[in-house]
Structure 1
Amino acid sequence: MEAQVTKRQYVTVGIICFINLINYMDRYTVAAILFDIQGSFGIGEAEGGLLQTAFIFAYMIMAPLFGWLGDRYNRKWLLSVGILFWSLATLLGSFMPDYVSFLVLRCVVGVGEASYTTIAPTIISDLFVGDKRSKMLAIFNFAIPVGAGLGYILGSVVLFAGGHGMSDDDRIAKEVWRWGLRVTPWMGVIAVVMIIFLLEEPTRGKCEGGQNIKTTSLLEDLKDLVKNEAFVLNTLGFTAVSFVMGALAWWAPNFISLGVDVQESSNVPKEYVSVIFGAESMISGLIGVPLGAYLGRKLRTRYPKADPVVSGIGILIAAPLIILATFISERNTLVAIILCFFGLIFQNLNWSIVTDMMLYTVIPTRRATASALLILVSHMFGDAGSPYLMGLMADGFAQLFPADNTTITTTEIAVTLTSTATSTDSIISTTANPDDGRADYVRFKSLQYAMAIVTSVDFIGTIFFVWLAFYIVRAKNRVIAIVKDSKEDNHLAEISGHVNAAFDSGTTESTTVDQPEKMKNGIGGLGNTIIPDEGKTGTGSQDE
């Protein structure tokens, strides 16, 4: 049976979840006030997307450093310094007078946030095993969409309260948006105080009985992680998810607001768009993240490969719902928001599952490094570039629209426009849009096509998760065997140099479920019982 959870452990998880909440609030408050930031600095879509891309770039570059430190040094102090760093950078950024200096401060915020996101999941993994770990990771991860939703709401409330009764131009001129960046820094200070006095720093791997596992060099860690097929495929699948979510989270409020503008009469007031999107992000996270964790826990008892399958099916369903919402948004904002809500629920199924899979396929002393590598890759090829890339695509699509008061039908955007088109040509048609609304219409249609293309990357993520299902059991069995062997003195020398969760295609894996009593404490959601992997035989020991 799993050990009883102590009050101190619950307090530690509560602190970590609170920090995760304000972490994502800070990120997406900027997305909620992006329209005003663009107006204040006089920048376009590409520069607006670059704000998030630059932040993520700094964040992912620093993640490996903090991963290495997190596997070797006191995590409480690493967390405290990192959170103080990003809180101060966010506060200073609210005073920057120009775009370049503001962009630089957003990069600095990314450096500080890298310390927290890399290390925090490893503390949970060292406090809990089995189903309790999966449940705690679900609590930790649903703070991501909830925090993002609160960020949208915070930014919107600041604009509404500070700019009440003002026109958009007046509100931008008075730079009301700056106050939206002056809330989370003080919450960060509170978090640091709680870390220092209340957070428990667990011994790495102790709850799994693997406290004798030795650390190795960073190069050795990385070499073994790269050979771990399960870790690699999990990372690639999550990279696709990050690519889609990064662009949607950054551009969706702006896009939906423009959809309201291009309609003659919208059923959702424009001033409520960011609040509504923030609320649906929160609620979809509260439903989707624990639902994904629940499905994984329940299904894997009978089908050990359930975790990657649930993740893959989730984004396979999410993509068409979000794409459909994208094209309906110019006709019915409410229906689009509802479709997006259900799409986000399925998109959120994988958050806790991905983290859980990473932890139970990697040995305890390499988990912070694995977390850092997952962050580096998923952001480098995911949400680091997708906001900027989507902005670039939108700017490119905008060039396809004619300069006069005409529109291009959705299904014929790629048709080359010529001066010989007649009034009966179905490609170009006169619209009721007034000339003064032309710019908004072009911006909306350009973002619409770009968003549909970006969301389609989810289909690639589904392929990686389904592929992962072929390797997940053997990778987990390898970790269980290594942790078991780490308790025996005669294996310590071997383990200190080979403590990864990788497997070689020629290595045999155990099919036995008759493990010693000391193996009964679980790893991941299945315990330390080695799971049968079809077609494999062996003894349960590590073959190198």
Structure 2
Amino acid sequence: MSLVDPMSDTTPFFSDDNEGEGSAEKDDRPSPEQEEDSPSGLSHIRAHLTVVVLCYINLLNYMDRFTVAGVLPDIEHFFNISDGKSGLLQTVFICSYMILAPLFGYLGDRYNRKMIMCVGIGFWSVVTLASSFVGKDYFWALLLTRGLVGVGEASYSTIAPTIIADLFIKEKRTNMLSIFYFAIPVGSGLGYIVGSAVDNRAKDWHWALRVGLLNPSHSRHSKKVGTGACLTLSLSFYSNSFVLSTFGFTAVAFVTGSLALWAPAFLFRAAVFTGEKQPCVVEPCDTSDSLYFGIITCVTGVLGVAMGVGVSQWLRKRTPRADPLVCAAGLLLAAPFLYLSIIFAQKSTVATYFFIFFGEMFLCMNWAIVADILLYVVVPTRRSTAEAFQIVISHLLGDAGSPYLIGVVSDSLKQADSYMWQFRSLQLSLLLCSFVAVVGGAFFLATALFIEKDRQIAENYVQAGEQAW
């Protein structure tokens, strides 16, 4: 009796190639419910505990990534840098992360995932700690260490979702992925909150980078991946729905990357422009906007991911194109709210936060669904590589350049070195986010035209591979 339903859209990765040879002689076969919940053969408790560990690491990942944005005014004042150079902090990290993702995706499909994540996370912790000791004359060193942080995150982010895909199938997999992706907005929000709180308490932004080093060295529930499969990646790269959804997710990355770095600074400049706050002339700067934005990010992340998954599962009963349609709706609804939040910043702080809340909530509807789309249109033995490919494209054209681009556009629009133009130029440059969100929505609408056919092709391809084994 096989541990995997031949009609399912996943195959076991956690067992060695020879573990299944004597399975027919064993009497303690898993029940049908256990087979559906954990196609890898792991127990129900162990499979769920693995997800908990992976979610915890993912939470720390995103806390570390956005702590810098939470104390950005202090960093700008400490190093005396322009908006363009500030944007480089996020860009160099994303570029490193993006470049290394294919390498770790390749390794994750062939070698011990446990060791890959262990080494990567350990390196990430050391480099993050090193970045907290950079002096004011060594901005280049901060850029270098932030770039090296991408090594650890690339080793983890390309592998973790595929492990969850190996543990669960169908609706259960979607639910587990939604829990995993809750960690992205929640971790991001905590990065702002913890960063600003530690900065205010310690009166030194360097300490904000030292609070996220409680990383587990590895997930002890990961096991060696078998290397017997020889399926090609051609389906991944030539599936229309995979390519189009990747470009749609690129728009999500562009917008979230821009907001992640610039939203707190923009809110602070808006408050200075309206006279609600004083300009930052002495450290520590007022980081209360980072705190409020962090809280909004946490709450909207949970609501957005839950709403996206819930609506998608409800709509799947009516159309097989539910997933890309929900993703498109999320981006198209987010665009006007983001636009209004930027425009109202010069008049009402309350209105700005109100529109940001709904804009971010609709934007977060995509996270778990896009991951699920990838997993059911890509053959299981190449999911890590496909995940890496999507990371490269979405970051290369998305948040790798968007923070820097927003900063450069802001600098170019600035007509005078005044507080008014510091706000106005950044306001105008951030309007680009609404346009990109609409473009992303269009890509997801195009994905809906191909998703049903591509899923059927992927499922048939898996069956052929299993019969050949």
Question: TM-score normalised to the size of structure 2?
Answer: 0.87
Structure 2 residue aligned with 1:192: 217
Report how far residue 203 of structure 1 moved. 5.7
Equivalent residue in structure 2 for 1:343, among 331, 337, 359: 359
Provide the alpha-carbon RMSD of the alignment: 1.7
Secondary structure of 1:43's counterpart equals coil
* Structure 1 partner of 2:334: 318
Matched, 1:51 2:89: yes
> Secondary structure of 1:487's partner?
helix
Q: Partners in 2 of 1:202 and 1:296 — Cα distance?
A: 33
Larger mean CA deviation between 2-11 and 239-248 belongs to 2-11
Give 1:245-324 correspondences, 5 Å limit: 245-265=256-276, 271-324=287-340
Give identity over the alignment, percent.
44
Deviation at 1:323, TM superposition (A): 0.9
Quote the Cα distance in structure 2 between the aligned partners of 1:365 and 1:213.
9
List aligned pairs for 1:35-184, cutoff 5 A: 35-97=73-135, 98-163=138-203, 176-184=204-212
For 2:331 and 2:313, the matched residues in 1 are separated by 19
Q: Verify the 8 A CA contact 2:113 2:224 in the aligned structure 1.
A: no
Question: Which residue does 1:21 correspond to in 2?
Answer: 59
Assess, with a 3 A threshold, how the Cα gap between structure 1 residues 4 and 110 changes in structure 2: closer, same or farther.
closer
Distance 1:131 1:203 in 2: 24
TM-superposed CA distance for 1:301, in Å, is: 2.2
Moved more, 228-237 or 1-10: 1-10
The residue number in structure 2 matching 1:229 is 240
> C-alpha separation between the residues in 2 aligned to 1:270 and 1:368?
42
Equivalent position amino acid for 1:8 in 2 = R
How much has 1:224 moved relative to structure 2? 3.7
Q: What's the counterpart of residue 170 of structure 1? A: none
1:465 corresponds to: 444
TM-aligned CA deviation for residue 225 of structure 1: 2.3
Contact 1:8 1:200 in 2 (8 A): no
Contact 1:127 1:202 in 2 (8 A): no
Q: Deviations over 1:227-250 (max 9, x none)?
A: 111110110000011111100111
From the superposition, tell whether residues 464 and 4 of structure 1 become closer, same or farther in structure 2 (CA, over 3 Å).
Answer: closer
Tell me by how many angstroms 1:271 deviates: 4.4
| AA matched with 1:456 | F
**Aligned residue runs from structure 1 range 418-437, under 5 A:** none
Residue of structure 1 equivalent to 2:413: 397
8 Å Cα contact 1:386/1:454 also seen in 2 = no
Instruction: Report if aligned partners of 1:29, 1:151 keep a CA contact under 8 Å in 2.
Output: yes
In structure 2, do the counterparts of structure 1 residues 265 and 89 end up closer, same or farther at CA, with 3 Å as the change threshold? closer
Q: What is the distance in 1 between the residues matched to 2:244 and 2:331?
A: 15
Q: Give me the whole-angstrom Cα distance separating, in 2, the residues matched to 1:95 and 1:455.
A: 37
Aligned pair 1:240/2:262, yes or no?
Answer: no
Q: Which residue is 2:22 aligned to?
A: none
What residue number does 1:364 align with? 380
Structure with the bigger percentage of helix: 2
Q: Deviations over 1:420-469 (max 9, x none)?
A: xxxxxxxxxxxxxxxxxx72221110000000123310111011100000
CA distance in 1, matches of 2:367, 2:273: 34
1:213, 1:365 within 8 Å by CA — same for their partners in 2?
no
SS at match of 2:418: helix
The structural deviation recorded for 1:41 is 1.2
Q: In structure 2, give the amino acid aligned to 1:237.
A: G
Unaligned runs of 5+ in 1: 164-175, 205-211, 404-437, 493-544
C-alpha deviation, 1:270, in angstroms: 5.4
Do the aligned residues in 1 keep the contact of 2:189 with 2:296 (CA within 8 Å)? yes
**For residues 10 and 89 of structure 1, what CA distance do their matches in structure 2 show?**
30
How many pairs align? 422
Match of 1:441 among 420, 425, 434: 420
User: Highest Rg: 1 or 2?
Assistant: 1
Residue 89 (structure 1) shift: 0.5
> 1:365: Cα distance to partner?
0.5
Preserved CA contact (<8 Å) 1:247 1:454: yes
d(CA) in 1 for partners of 2:191, 2:408 = 25
* CA deviation after TM superposition for structure 1 residue 4, in Å: 4.3
Partners of 1:270 and 1:150 lie apart in 2 by 17
Task: Verify the 8 A CA contact 1:295 1:310 in the aligned structure 2.
Answer: yes
1:485, CA displacement in angstroms?
2.6
The CA deviation at 1:202 is 7.6
For the residue of structure 2 that corresponds to 1:359, the secondary structure is helix
User: What is aligned with 1:330?
Assistant: 346
1:294-343 Cα offsets, whole Å, 9 max, x none, are 11122112210010000001110101101101111111111101110011
Q: Does the CA-based 8 Å contact 2:69-2:264 persist in structure 1?
A: yes
